[in-house]
Chains A and B, each alone.
Chain A
Amino acid sequence: MAERADVLVIGAGASGAAAAWALARAGRRVVILEQGDWTDPATYPQHRTDWERFRQTTVNRDPNVRQLPEDYPVDVTDTPIDPLMFNAVGGSTIHWTGHFPRFRPSDFRVKTLDGVGDDWPIDYAELEPYYDRNDSNIGVTGLNGDPSNPPRSPRPYPSPALDATGEAFVRGLEALGWHWWPSDAAYVRAPHHPGRAACNGCGPCDLGCPIGAMSSAHVTYVPEAVKHGARVVTRARVREILVGSDGKAEGAAYYDRDGKLQVQRARTVIVGANGVGTPRLLLNSRSSRFPTGLANSSDQVGRNFMFHPVAIVRGVLPERIDSFEGPAGALLNSQEFYETDLSRGATRGYQLQLVRDSMPVGTALGRGAGKRLPWGRGHRAAHRDEFGHGLTIVVMAEDLPEAHNRVTLSTMADTHGIPAPKVSYTVSQNSRALLDHGIASATDLVRAAGAREVTVDPLARVAGWHLMGTARMGDDPATSVVDRWGRAHDVPNLFIVDGSIFVTSAPVNPTTTIQALALRTAEWLDAHFAEVAA
């Protein structure tokens, strides 16, 4: 049996890695269990001529498509959106676009301001120093001074000049008089740490960055945590969190890479297994003391599941703008429609995000909101008219918590016989209204930029990037799973640090908020370790 750790971290993705780094750096003995393996950027597909086909196979973001040994199936028979994730050291930050916007202050007071959802037990000011620390730790590119967001510190790296794609986006927004700003983006423009080169704009960040320019967890927090003594156990699939007779977490039982059941004991346990994997683990950790799953006396584990429902609008410009070049998802955004305006027919808001357009295969297949190109004599002309001409806008709506949207256990199981998660989800009327308004806005935008043709995907199925809400934070143990520090109400030495603990989702990508929360929880745990681990 392995030595008892001070802190057992389950999951080496964005949140677990950040927490592990902070605690290892503070001198705690940290063990990380990760069901995936290390990946080597030098072997990523962009080094190969046939790189684009790997989107269909081993680096697809959908575990049900990849079906790698380290993946678990997700039952998606009851959801119009597929949850996406990656199982490896670095987690889903490997196959990621690094778009890094922060929540606004109003996002923490949704109930008070708009009468929907719930308020968070914390506010923006409490989280702000951790946002800053995280940006500095991992390396973020951006520009401070956006009047639609609270002031923030100068970004570690400046935003690059507008390229032809950026100019087209801005042309449309300036014509309409709408807000735009360069996105905070989790990539570096100069060598940052050993092994991390400056971004060379190769494009498909979502396949993993082959030079470490993207600030993914496996090139940022995990190696730093290891330097401080953290031990990473890979191909370790956790079956359940173990609980002692005193009701405290004692560690975890996991299957090692040879399929043997092992036990890692620990004085405290942190779960960072994403908004689907975390409730799955808690629900699978049933015992006589916790018959409905661990930390689930409130019956909130798995409930209030939120995606960011996404629509995609693509305008085809007359001129070629080489919109496939450069960082994939982290370019420019418009937050013109961010805050509530009931005249839009919905409460809360959405973000318009400029993303990169498809490469040659994706163009031919009509990836995103594109259209499948015809075969035969007309194919070449169609490809010439589309490739590099697309101005693609992601409409990302805030999703509100609803108890019936949830993660439960499926009759399906993984290769170890552990019940798989089932996602049951419907797009609410409010989210649908936001998307519809966003589609109209994005259509106006690409038309104003000069698009001669517009195509729309009104609800992208393969867009379940953000998994949130299934172990919500709150002060009341009757209606929430963890407290303001991410500590389980029912299990005093169990913490959750991934997107599960979100109370509401805001209309922006969640990773910077996830990592800020993880750093904050880790700092609190370190300061209170004797009490918590007693």
Chain B
Amino acid sequence: MTVTHATGRVLGDANLALLEAVQEVLLPGDDEMPPASRTGAARAVDAYLAERQALRAPILDALVAVRIAAARRGGAFEDLDEAARVAILQEVEASEPAAFDALLVQSYTGYYTDAGVQGALGVPSPLMPTGFPRATEGNLDPARLDRVRATARPWREA
């Protein structure tokens, strides 16, 4: 069985677009790793909200706070330049720490459970059936423990 993500839809189009823009700032990627916008991170978070009702309030609160902070700067978050977006997220992180933390935790989770991201990190996606066979290959050479045998304190007789 290989399932990439849970399914479900809680966020509307506007909130999903905002979440994608926020994640673009949180996880911009680099030469080796894709930015969040090129992964399924936003839709994954949306799916988590469908499964876990307790997550909805903090994440929606965080998105509302982002929207309000952007409006104070006279526009939509998605239309601002990167410096302004970063400043807004820093502001929300300080003013709504619990909500922002929930958003960050779920964004990291969505990003790093993306098959492309896992592949870039050298992690089988999914872990099964491949695993990491080299971690259990061969047997420990008992001679590696010669020093311990010679120097270890014995157990106490009782």
Contact = CB atoms under 8 A, between A and B. Distances in A.
Interface in A101-132: 104-106, 108-109, 112-113, 123-124
B148 A147 contact: yes
Given A104-B155, A105-B156, A327-B135, A52 B113 contact: yes
A201 B136 contact: yes
Interface stretch (A172-180, A287-295, A484-492): A172-180
B131 A200 contact: yes
Interface size class of A (residues with CB under 8 A): 35 or more
Interface residues of B, number: 66
Interface string B64-83: 00000000000000000000
B138 A180 contact: no
Contacts of A179: 148, 151-153
Contacts of A377: 28
Q: Do most interface residues of chain B lie in helix, strand or loop, or is the interface mixed?
A: loop
Nearest to B108: A364
Contacts, number: 199
Nearest to A210: B128
A375 B26 contact: yes
A361 B140 contact: no
A200 B129 contact: yes
A320 B107 CA distance: 25
Nearest to A359: B123
Interface in B22-55: 25-30, 32-33, 44, 48, 51-52
Nearest to A339: B156
A482 B7 CA distance: 51
Given A48-B2, A326-B136, A376 B144 contact: no
A199 B137 CA distance: 10
B156 to A, nearest CB: 4
Interface string A35-60: 00000001100111111110011000
For the residues of A in contact with B, the DSSP-based class is: loop
Contact of B52 (A57, A124, A203, A373): A57
Interface stretch (A157-165, A301-309, A509-517): A157-165
A200 B109 contact: no
A210 B52 CA distance: 24
B140 A42 contact: no
A506 B43 CA distance: 48
17 contacts: A49-B113, A51-B126, A105-B156, A106-B156, A150-B155, A159-B140, A160-B138, A161-B137, A200-B131, A202-B131, A203-B132, A360-B121, A361-B108, A364-B111, A365-B105, A376-B86, A380-B33
